[in-house]
Amino acid sequence: MDRIGQMQHTIERLTRPGRGILAADESYPTITKRLSDFGIESTEETRRFYRSLLATTPGIGEYVGGIIFFEETLGQRTDEGQLIPAACEAQDIVPGIKVDKGAVELAGSDGEKVTQGLDNLGDRLDGYVEQGALFTKWRNLYQITPELPSRQALEANAEVLARYAAIAQSRGMVPIVEPEVLMDGDHDLARCAAVTEAAQATLFEALRRHRVLLEAIILKPNMVLPGKGQPRPAVETCAEETLRVLRRTVPAAVPSINFLSGGQTSEEATAHLNAMNQAEGPKPWVMSFSFSRALQNPVQAAWAGVAQNKEAAQQAFLHRARLNSLAREGRYSATMETDQA
């Protein structure tokens, strides 16, 4: 299979009906914080056990089409001795890999960030392919204030994301491009919409400039929401604003938009995804999920670092994934939250 054929096949697998993507790609500091919230110590063994627990959840492939991992996980094995990427493939789940190296200060800016990791990216991708990864993820961050993000930050981050995507596609890997406008702050819904539109418009200009094949990318954007310091509007209002921005900025050639949860609760993220899929009007893309905390928090709470809780944790994962699968189809209801059947 040639490079383009490989990417098309990966896209087809990731976008099959009812399925989304799990982001289990937390770096060492992030996973340490997330686990500590539930009284779990982050060690190589606890991380291995936990991410193996996710990949081997019976039946999870019905709802999860891909899992994004941290590089450590690609070389780890399940309790049965199978490499974790191979365990994913056994459930028709596509293994993916986070490839950015985190955000650093953008020189010359007013404290804004740009994501690093382009150095030797091609060589790293070659190694990840050998370990079974078929798609990649790169995240950029945009802070909202009355003045920010600046044009400098918008263009610098778009350029980095586009260069990353072009390199990933040169290896036959599907790039997830993630321009995350942060929820932190007191901004209102309109301000988030304006910044999100600017970030996405600048990104797609750069993707075209770098000749990235839009049919072989996945966009992972934030939902349009007010800052954490503001009251939350109705889910239908947020859905309408998010769709308005997407229709203005995202070409129909893009096959799938897989939203990040961005600090929302599990229930909030699922409800917002459902509202977008229920909304009227043109939606030329698959609209699904690529949640991290909104999928994993209930799992970590059920597990609590105790091996004997593995089955309960897997049931929590399966339940949460099923609800988001229903939201992808616009068939979720809050009454389903307590239905474990």
pLDDT of residue 338: 81
Strands 103-105 and 113-115: antiparallel
Q: Catalytic: 33?
A: no
Distance (Å, rounded) from C-alpha 316 to C-alpha 181? 29
Its sign, for the CA torsion 142, 143, 148, 152, is negative
Distance (Å, rounded) from C-alpha 97 to C-alpha 20? 15
Amino acid identity of residue 35, one-letter, is L
Exposed, middle or buried: residue 105 (CB in 10 Å: 0-12, 13-18, 19+)? Answer: exposed
Q: Catalytic: 220?
A: yes
Q: What is the 3-state secondary structure (H, E, C) of the chain?
A: CCHHHHHHHHHHHHCCCCCEEEEECCCHHHHHHHHHCCCCCCCHHHHHHHHHHHHCCCCHHHCEEEEEECHHHHCCECCCCCEHHHHHHHCCCEEEEECCCCEEECCCCCCCEEECCCCCHHHHHHHHHHCCCCEEEEEEEECCCCCCCCHHHHHHHHHHHHHHHHHHHHCCCEEEEEEEECCCCCCCHHHHHHHHHHHHHHHHHHHHHCCCCHHHCEECCCCCCCCCCCCCCCHHHHHHHHHHHHHHHCCCCCCEEEECCCCCCHHHHHHHHHHHHHCCCCCCCEEEEEECHHHHHHHHHHHCCCHHHHHHHHHHHHHHHHHHHHHHCCCCCHHHHHCCC
Q: Per-residue pLDDT for the chain (341 aa), expressed as one digit of tens each? A: 899 999 999 999 999 999 999 999 999 999 999 999 999 999 999 999 999 999 999 999 999 999 999 999 999 999 999 999 999 999 999 999 999 999 999 999 999 999 999 999 999 999 999 999 999 999 999 999 999 999 999 999 999 999 999 999 999 999 999 999 999 989 999 999 999 999 999 999 999 999 999 999 999 999 999 999 899 899 999 999 999 999 999 999 999 999 999 989 999 999 999 999 999 999 999 999 999 999 999 999 999 999 999 999 999 999 999 999 999 999 999 899 986 54
pLDDT of residue 341: 44
Distance (Å, rounded) from C-alpha 313 to C-alpha 293? 14
Of 26, 112, 178, 240, which residue is the catalytic one? 178
Of 220, 241, 268, 310, which residue is the catalytic one? 220
Full set of structural domains in the chain with CATH: 3-336 (3.20.20.70)
